[in-house]
Structure 1
Amino acid sequence: MQSLFLAHGSPMNAIEDKEYTRFLEQFGKTLQPKAIVIFTAHWESDVLTISSSDEQYETIYDFYGFPDELYQIKYPAKGSSSLANIIEEKFIKQGISVRKDMTRGLDHGSWTLLRRLFPKADIPVVQISVNPFLHPEKQYEIGKALRGLGEEDILVIGSGVTVHNLRIIKWGQSTPEPWAVEFDDWLIGKIKDNQLNDLFEYEKLAPHAQMAVPRAEHFVPLYIAMGSADSLDNAKVLFRNYEFGTLSNLCYQF
């Protein structure tokens, strides 16, 4: 079970019929994980925090101004305290501070994707927070601590977006802005060539980095997903397109 970085994009991905959501639905049919571990850009904490419960998750609507239909959706997946314990042990073994959360629901960084991939909501989910202020190499080390889960058919997902600047999106624009394409092209090239050191220093080296990543919470799940893979040798772009000119739907399998 290879690790994934998936763009969760707009909450509307939960209900819209378009190329990207059709991709997610079809791709999900090729996967049969026994459990899912998902790092979501919409849960930030200074200390890495793991959902640890066997109960059904509440569906969190952490957005506003969207159609009523979106607020009626439920994704009634259950957690797994036993898997949360295993993950906690792995982090502690690597010297990574961690705590557990028994009550938090699934935010839209998780359920919008999972609803498309696994609509039956019958696979246990462990949701984990991110700390956007850690250096990319530290994010990679967080993912690295989870190596081996894939061999047990546990799917690790980093849920975020590579190019995510909501202040300069182009409403109604279907063609991507050249700078957004250039940033993703740089990422793809560095991943292909296994240039981890350059990837860790993307803020200095990547073209248009400040426009693409004005704040890192949506970007760091990429490094966590990369780190959880054994290597980048089998990294593959699964999907790529753009919405509103600047919102990237770049997805990776590692």
Structure 2
Amino acid sequence: MLSPVFLAHGSPFTIFEESDFTKFLKQFGQENRPKAIVIFSAHFESEMTTIAATDDVHEMVYDYYGFPDSFYQVQYPARGSTIVASIVEERLRLNNIPVQQKYRGLDHGVFPIMMHAYPEADIPIVPVSVNPFLPARQQFAIGEALQGLEKEGILVIGSGFVSHNLRAFDRDKDAPPREWAMQFKNWIRDKVVTRDIESLSQYDVLAPHAAMAVPRAEHFVPLLIALGSGNSGSDIRVLFDSIEHGSGSSLSFQF
């Protein structure tokens, strides 16, 4: 069963890295082979939920700055799927969630994951936007509208970071984890695994060091969407858990 997942997408360096995290992504891709992927990327923001629909090979969106030229020459020639996009749109409309179709290519919340998990680029990908300003309950509702897509061979992915504060990132990837980042990550892990929706809906006031770990919610809300899209009766698995650059959590789940 292709249960929905939340995956950390890593920094742009993930594109070329060979690490424990990229090994995990490779293994994930080998164990999970969907017919299509619907992915909510932290780097695709819009006020209204927006589905990027196409049947062509996706364009590349290099939404990072100051990297070597090779980072702007990366290609991941996956196609989209207007059929899957229409399925997603219909599900959202039936649940009274405002939605539109407007094309956008694959950003770095998408292709670094896909390059390691599905290097053949042979699975259609449908990117969907996030609105970081919606309340947590509305984020869950977006996910809930997509429950059961795994029965049709469609994998729902939320792509972001549990903690993401660029000002607190250490240049050293192997820098010791900061205590505040560990406390926040562990609180989130506990509430997700126990499916404590009430607490997660108030993570910004209940979780320790939430303001430091999530100064802006765009990288966090894909977790809430993916959690909402899972089967409420299934066990939640922790897929990967580490902290890099001192404060960036790669905590990933399957719902």
Matched, 1:121 2:121: yes
* Alpha-carbon distance between aligned partners in 2 of 1:243 and 1:185, rounded to the nearest angstrom: 15
8 A Cα contact 1:8 1:161, kept in partner: yes
* Superposed CA offset, 1:160-181 (max 9, x none): 0011000111221432111111
Q: Which ranges of structure 2 fall in alignment gaps of 5 or more residues? A: none
* Alpha-carbon distance between aligned partners in 2 of 1:60 and 1:11, rounded to the nearest angstrom: 12
1:235 equivalent in structure 2: 236
Amino acid aligned to 2:44 = W
Amino acid aligned to 2:76 = Y
Aligned-pair CA distance for 1:232 = 6.4
**Secondary structure of residue in 1 paired with 2:42:** strand
TM-score (norm 2): 0.97
* Alpha-carbon distance between aligned partners in 2 of 1:133 and 1:167, rounded to the nearest angstrom: 21
* Alpha-carbon distance between aligned partners in 1 of 2:26 and 2:189, rounded to the nearest angstrom: 24
* Superposed CA offset, 1:216-248 (max 9, x none): 000000000000001164111100111110011
- Residue 174 to residue 232, structure 1, CA distance change in 2 (3 Å): farther
Q: Which ranges of structure 1 fall in alignment gaps of 5 or more residues? A: none
Amino acid aligned to 2:55 = D
**Secondary structure of residue in 2 paired with 1:74:** coil
**Secondary structure of residue in 2 paired with 1:226:** helix
1:133 equivalent in structure 2: 133
Amino acid aligned to 1:105 = G
Identical counterparts, % of pairs: 49
Mapping for residues 201-212 of structure 1, pairs under 5 Å: 201-212=202-213
* Alpha-carbon distance between aligned partners in 2 of 1:121 and 1:188, rounded to the nearest angstrom: 31
Aligned-pair CA distance for 1:124 = 0.6
* Alpha-carbon distance between aligned partners in 1 of 2:171 and 2:133, rounded to the nearest angstrom: 29
Amino acid aligned to 1:101 = K
Aligned-pair CA distance for 1:81 = 0.5
1:224 equivalent in structure 2: 225
Q: Which has the larger displacement, 173-182 or 37-46? A: 173-182
**Secondary structure of residue in 2 paired with 1:167:** helix
* Alpha-carbon distance between aligned partners in 2 of 1:145 and 1:2, rounded to the nearest angstrom: 15
* Alpha-carbon distance between aligned partners in 2 of 1:160 and 1:232, rounded to the nearest angstrom: 24
Q: What RMSD over aligned residues (CA atoms) do the two structures have, in Å? A: 1.0
2:29 equivalent in structure 1: 28
Q: Which has the larger displacement, 12-21 or 65-74? A: 65-74
* Superposed CA offset, 1:124-154 (max 9, x none): 1100000000011100000000011011111
Aligned-pair CA distance for 1:68 = 2.0
Amino acid aligned to 1:144 = E
1:150 equivalent in structure 2: 150
* Superposed CA offset, 1:102-134 (max 9, x none): 3x2111101111111100001011000000000
1:17 equivalent in structure 2: 18
TM-score (norm 1): 0.97
Mapping for residues 82-231 of structure 1, pairs under 5 Å: 82-102=83-103, 104-172=104-172, 173-231=174-232
8 A Cα contact 1:194 1:233, kept in partner: no
Amino acid aligned to 1:11 = P
* Alpha-carbon distance between aligned partners in 2 of 1:162 and 1:95, rounded to the nearest angstrom: 28
2:247 equivalent in structure 1: 246
Q: After the TM superposition, which segments of 4 or more aligned residues of structure 1 sit over 2 Å from their partners?
A: none
1:51 equivalent in structure 2: 52
How many equivalent residue pairs?
253
Q: Which has the larger displacement, 145-154 or 230-239? A: 230-239
* Superposed CA offset, 1:77-120 (max 9, x none): 10100111111110000000000013x21111011111111000
